[in-house]
Amino acid sequence: MSSRRSFLASAAAASAALFVAPSILTGKSRKSLVAEADKSFTMAFAPSIGMFRRLCGSNDPADNIRFIHDRGFRAVFDNGLPGRPPEEQVKIADEIHRQGLMMGPWVLYADFSKTSFVLDNAEVKDFLKAKMLEGAEVARRTGFKMVLMVPGRYDERLHHDYQTSNVIENLKYCAEIAEPEGMTIVIEPLNTLHDHPGLFLTGMPQAYQICQAVNSPAVKIVDDIYHQQITEGNLIPNIDSCWNQIAAFHCGDNPGRNEPGTGEINYRNIFKYLYTRNYKGVICMEHGCSAEGAEGEKRVIEAYRACDPS
């Protein structure tokens, strides 16, 4: 996510071959996928608001939310929620609640250019307090209480262990504000090899260590499977090892960061594993489309039909 609000461009040249991959991998035919078109998904896959704007035929968030619901999805996400005008936040929240959908984590803080959580000083504490109070206001307004925070850049002048200690203490400080509000902060390990060089938090074991040390129900992990495939692989074993600290997932295939079935990740097996663990949380579809326009949006829906455990 060069910016979390703009996903990587699609690789249209490979789309024809990739399009058939989901049905080949899962044994589901296109005919069966069409028959399942509008039934509820087993897992809480969460498209971003506006992901299907061409199929929906509207840019209005409420129209998009209704379309998402009518296609059988049980959740949505909106990384940029706090940047919307308050009246638009309320409109979105009202429609999501009306449709009975779950809401994935929204981004409260993700500045990839600054050292922040890794430092121990009053300026950082003041900034984090202001940011948490801002998030609490959005959470009260909308009822959406899971927020995503990225701990920022690595400090080359400070030993890694001191930085880890500072991140833990700063998250404890944030948790003191989050807990009374019923909020959950999810921290996200991101890859440095392709998208985000220089960031502090990169791996699932590292995130797990931090959450265990913070020891608060208000601080958990969002496991972005796309990023972790690039960083360390070993996807299902790491999910298993971090299970008690994971609150949400992001997904996207690799390479390309498009829908499942367009890269090397076996999403059918990953979703099946989550299903057998009785995972009830959101799986945010934080990726692009392998083809342009309405046809590309159709392929995204079919890809999730093909991978949905049933």
- Tell me the catalytic residues: 188, 286
Residue in the structure block whose two tokens are 């499942």 = 260
Q: Which run of H or E residues covers position 69?
A: helix 61-70
Please state whether the peptide bond connecting residue 237 to the residue before it is cis, i.e. omega within 30 degrees of 0. no
What is the rounded (10 degree) CA torsion for 28, 40, 77, 5?
A: 30
The three-state secondary structure class of 118 is coil
Tokens describing residue 265: 């990740």
Residues 71, 37 contacting (CB under 8 angstroms):
yes
Closest CA relative to residue 22, chosen from 286, 258, 276 = 258
Q: How far apart are CA 36 and CA 103, in angstroms?
A: 23
Report the candidate in 277, 84, 109, 77 with the shortest Cα–Cα distance to residue 188.
109
Q: Which of 12, 8, 10, 29 is nearest to 20 (CA)?
A: 29
Instruction: Report CA-CA distances (Å) from 216 to 118, 128, 163.
Output: 19, 17, 19
**Residue 300 phi, psi (nearest 5):** -60, -45
Report d(CA 252, CA 59) in Å as an integer: 23
